[in-house]
Structure 1
Amino acid sequence: MTDAAAPTPSNVVFVGAVATASVLLSAALACATPFAALAALSVIALPRPQALLAVGTAWLLNQIVGFGLLGYPADVVTLGWGLAIGGAALLAVPAADMAGRQAPVARTLAGLLGAFAAYEAALALAALALPGSAGAYAPAVVVRLFLINLATLAAALALRALAETLVHRHARAA
């Protein structure tokens, strides 16, 4: 690992925040966990390897919540969907990263759009092989999922801005 890819303390904290968000969002939203938003957030805050780690950790914790807390059945179809979601979440990271060097707001929104498109496309492909997706791609469902991702992204960015403000105030006061 090069120094540029070595995790910094703030990156470790960010990965922990994504992991915590995943547990809370998985418990609250189950199958609607906003992995595209988590991917977009991770890409703007972390180098790609660490963004993949953050999203992969979020997916693993989502599965632990689903099977352990929410009682998902441990059958072939459910396990297949779990793996498909994990693959789709990881594909969302490079898709979010393709937004490039735009202005921060445009990059963040483009990252979310790219991540969401890649995530949903990967799951649509998985649906061809896995049963249990009837109605999952109805326009109203896709819009609802996008709005969940958008709200998650907005809330996370607001919390991040608040935390940065508090840190700067504390630093000035010290």
Structure 2
Amino acid sequence: MSLELQTDRLLIREWKTDDAEAALRVYGTDEVTSRLTPELRPLSDAEAMRSVLHAWIEAGPNLMPPAGRWAIVRKDDGEVVGGLSLKLLPPYEEDFELTWALSPDVWGQGYATEAGRAIISWAFEQGIEEVFAVARSSNERAVAVARRLGMEWVGETEKYYDTRLQVFRLRPA
């Protein structure tokens, strides 16, 4: 689903294959990928990242709305600082999960919360009834972002990714 949202500091837009170098600063580091679910290995080079971006772009039109994957771009300098997605959680693909990943050099600046709020608000406008986030309990940053987004902790589960995860949920106010 094509999307472009703006916040005070950020632009949330579709990925482009030209974003490969910037995306690699996010998805090419173990510091980031070790925190994602399911656990991923960092991508090794810009060409590998370009292939992943190409796959994400190609898959986009086939996703069930409002699912998608987007780049998070800092407006003041045009730098891609991260990515986020709204996707159906396995195994039953009934619940929408919000995910986010940022380059470690911008951690702690509130970008994940700012981008997450924008996507959640937009997703609720599209008619979905709730959004979930899942995180390892050791991923204190992700748990903190989920709470700053107003998500409620609803428990722990191994249902989604065969590893024990904290589950957070947000419904429209």
Same fold (TM over 0.5): no
Select the structure with the greater relative contact order (CA < 8 A; seq sep ≥ 6): 1
Q: Which has the higher helix share?
A: 1
Kindly name which structure, 1 or 2, has the bigger radius of gyration based on alpha carbons: 1
TM-score under structure 2 length normalisation: 0.31
